[in-house]
Chain A
Amino acid sequence: MVKPQPGAEIDGFRLGDCLHVGSMASIFRLVGSDGELPLVMKIPLLGAGERSANVVSFEQCRTVLGALAQSPHHPTLVAYGDVETTPYLVMEHVAGTRLDEWTKRAPLAAADVARLGHSLALALHEIHRQDVAHLDLKATNILYRNDGTATLVDFGVSCHRHLPDLLAVEFHTPVGNWVTMAPEQIVGERCDPRSDLYALGVLLYELATGKRPFGTPTTVAQLRKRLYALPGPPRALVSGVPPWLQEVILRLLEIDAAKRYQSAAQVAFDLANPGQVAIGARGEQRTPAGALKRLVRRLSARHFAPPPPPPPVNALTPRPVIVVAIAPEETGEPFFEALRAAVRRRASPDLRSRIACISVVPPAATLADDTPTGRHIKQLVSLRRWAKPLGLPEECVTYHVLESNEPVTALLDYAAVNEVEEILLGAGSDAAQVAAKAPCTVTVVRPSAAS
């Protein structure tokens, strides 16, 4: 193969400036006759001794990137070379700012942490719903485009549930980034998308506090500490971290994947709606756990076994967000009960659906008689009253009173922004319009004839 350097030509592609030289690969800008192209070429380093692992990782990257549907959340693969003779990947050049530009400036304000985290969670959701786990998230692998969209790069360690995992047996030490690595990855689990959520927690922790929750491990023993240790609460390091943000971060950093958020969409939802985060003991905690608690955790970690990864997504979105739209004028108990019955059918424990109860009320300024807050609160109370008989866990249900003169548009906007899976609503005048324009399934609920 031609020695990769600016000016060299490989398979008809002419190399421009070298953008990056890493331990695994170099990246060159590509140039055409009229100057720089919006493309880069990634060339793996295949010297003696690094061949096996690097080739496999290169092949995994090509395979997974090639299988992903085009989206702004990962670079588009344009061409690739023969792995035996001229291995390279030609990809879209993603212009943007790397996350490490922000980690350098940490601790950041909660709103900035939430904004960066929200974009990143949406990017993760995009690959997770295609049954891909990235498994190597770090500040240098995440780019933010100028419009704020997060883009994940370097899929060399990733896993695609519908393709053979070429990395399954190639490495003896845990493969991925040791700073952000999830406990289950340390013991060899390689296909759980919730591992990416743990890494997201590590990154948010650092953005919010300026400190890494487990430092920078250099030995496997240091790495294994996270099999039993929970990080100290961010509020103990930076008192300005609000409880809702700490709640989100510490929930992402749960040792047991089953206790974390179960989908990136739910993390995005919470980061976009801080007021809706159900704050528990995690969020309020100001001091690290006591010595006894830590000892118990440490002893029980000797038998650490990760929970089984969730089944592949296929056509079904796991942990879907389901909107229950209740018009303020709605009062009939038979209808309310029919709506509850519809929710019960969808809120099975293994689906872990998220129920968002929504009412749209006219904006405060247009109301002459009622005080705005009074009206808002009244509607919030009736939403809560409606949901109470369902007995759903607090983290599974949220309440929103949206202010708009156009209830249909407000509802549709909400559905689009929050990746809603289904809207349940009554057969009122707006139902047909919502059904016609919604980006998701819409179910019109009616009381049964018997009731």
Chain B
Amino acid sequence: MGYGADPVAVLELIEAHAEKGAIVLLGNHDAAARGDDVRGLNAQASVAIAWTRRQLRKRQQVFLRSLPLSVREGDRLFVHASAAVPERWTYVTGPRQAALSIEAADAAVVFCGHVHDQRLYFMSGAGRAMPFRPTPSTPVPMGRQHRWLAIVGSAGQPRDRNAAAAYALADLERERITFFRVGYDFEAAAQKIRRAGLPERLARRLERGM
């Protein structure tokens, strides 16, 4: 959404999951696409958003308007950006922002995105958020004596020179999280972006992972 050439197909897929009970959150690109005034988008993003808005039909506009900024489920909080003030779309780019988000969330675990690289933070006894760069496919215990913040990574907009899509699976019963990277046909996705006349850089980014 707002990067790729398939916003309608993506939204149809997500809506189907939402109907089955999936938690779906509003991101800053989604907010822009539904017409909210979102600050901080660069020129290319604005071009892509304008194009995206033209693709969306009434049904998708309605779906986007239904999305919440955050969802609380038990002692877990799901939010796109920092939990501190979700509508400000603050990036959790380091320990300081992570600590602010964890403090504001009042939850055992915060799951978020916005930042595209996978990271796991935990609050130390000294009140500092400690960053950890997860190794893909390696389960990481999330013990209850710490509070955690997991940036699960983005599906299709990597920033670490690895074209693979990112996701994470949390096992609530066994209290652990596993981060994954999975390959997909990014060349086809890039071709579609070019054919749609979207900025070239959006296509190249998928290919280079940067």
Residues of A in contact with B (beta carbons under 8 Å apart): 52, 55-56, 59, 62-63, 66, 82-84, 161-166, 168-170, 312
Nearest opposing residue in chain A for B135, CB measure: A162
Q: Is the interface of B mostly helix, strand, loop or mixed?
A: loop
Q: Does B122 reach chain A (CB closer than 8 Å)? A: yes
Chain B, Cβ-Cβ closest to A55: B145
* CB under 8 Å from chain A, chain B span 111-170: 120, 122, 124-126, 128, 130, 132, 134-135, 138, 140-141, 143-146
Chain A residues near B138 (CB, 8 Å)?
A: 162-163
* CB-nearest residue of chain A to B131: A164
Contact yes or no, A166 B144, CB < 8 A:
no
Query: Which of chain B's residues have a CB closer than 8 A to the CB of A170?
Result: 124-126
| Cβ contacts under 8 Å, B128 to chain A | 169
Q: Cβ of B120 and Cβ of A164 under 8 Å apart?
A: yes
Q: A55-B145, A59-B141 are in contact. List 11 more A-B contacts (CB 8 A).
A: A83-B144, A84-B144, A84-B145, A162-B138, A163-B138, A163-B141, A164-B140, A165-B132, A169-B124, A169-B125, A169-B126
Sorted from nearest, which 8 A-B pairs have the closest CB atoms? Answer: A164-B132, A162-B135, A169-B124, A162-B138, A52-B125, A63-B141, A59-B143, A169-B126
**What is the interface of chain A mostly: helix, strand, loop, or mixed?**
loop
Binary A-proximity of B51-72 (CB < 8 A = 1, otherwise 0): 0000000000000000000000
Closest CB in chain A relative to B179 CB, distance in Å: 11
- Residues of chain A within 8 A of B130, CB atoms compared: 164-165, 168-169
Q: Which residues of chain A come closer than 8 Å to B144, judged between CB atoms?
A: 82-84
Can you list 17 pairs linking A and B with CB atoms under 8 Å apart?
A52-B125, A56-B125, A59-B143, A66-B141, A83-B143, A83-B145, A162-B134, A162-B138, A162-B140, A164-B130, A164-B132, A168-B124, A169-B125, A169-B128, A170-B124, A170-B126, A312-B135
Question: How far, in angstroms, from A83 to B143 measured CA to CA in the complex?
Answer: 8
A-contacting residues of B (Cβ < 8 Å)?
120, 122, 124-126, 128, 130, 132, 134-135, 138, 140-141, 143-146
Bound Cα distance from A54 to B62, whole angstroms: 53
- B residues less than 8 Å from A163 (CB atoms): 132, 138, 140-141
In the complex, the chain B residue whose C-beta lies closest to that of A59 is: B143
Closest chain B residue, CB of each to CB of A169 = B124
Instruction: Return the chain A residue nearest B146 by Cβ.
Output: A166
- Chain B residue nearest in CB terms to A167: B124
Task: Give every chain A residue within 8 A of B141 (Cβ-Cβ).
Answer: 59, 62-63, 66, 163
Q: How far is the CB of B150 from chain A (nearest CB, A)?
A: 11
A83 to chain B, nearest CB (A): 6
Give Cα A166–Cα B135 distance, bound, in whole angstroms: 16
| Nearest Cβ on chain B to A103's Cβ, whole angstroms | 35
Complex CA distance for A440 and B145, rounded to whole angstroms? 43
Instruction: Give Cα A33–Cα B104 distance, bound, in whole angstroms.
Output: 51
Q: Collect the chain B residues with CB atoms within 8 Å of residue A166's CB.
A: 122, 143, 146
**Which residues of the partner chain B approach A52 to less than 8 Å between Cβ atoms?**
125
Chain A nearest CB from B171 CB (Å) reads: 13
**Residue of A59, A66, A166 with most chain B CB atoms under a 10 A cut-off:** A166
The residue in chain A whose Cβ has the minimal distance to the Cβ of B143 is A59
Closest to B137 in A: A162
* Residue numbers in B under 8 Å from A56 (CB-CB): 125, 145
In whole Å, how far is A46's beta carbon from the nearest beta carbon of chain B?
11
* Cα(A163)–Cα(B148), bound, Å: 13
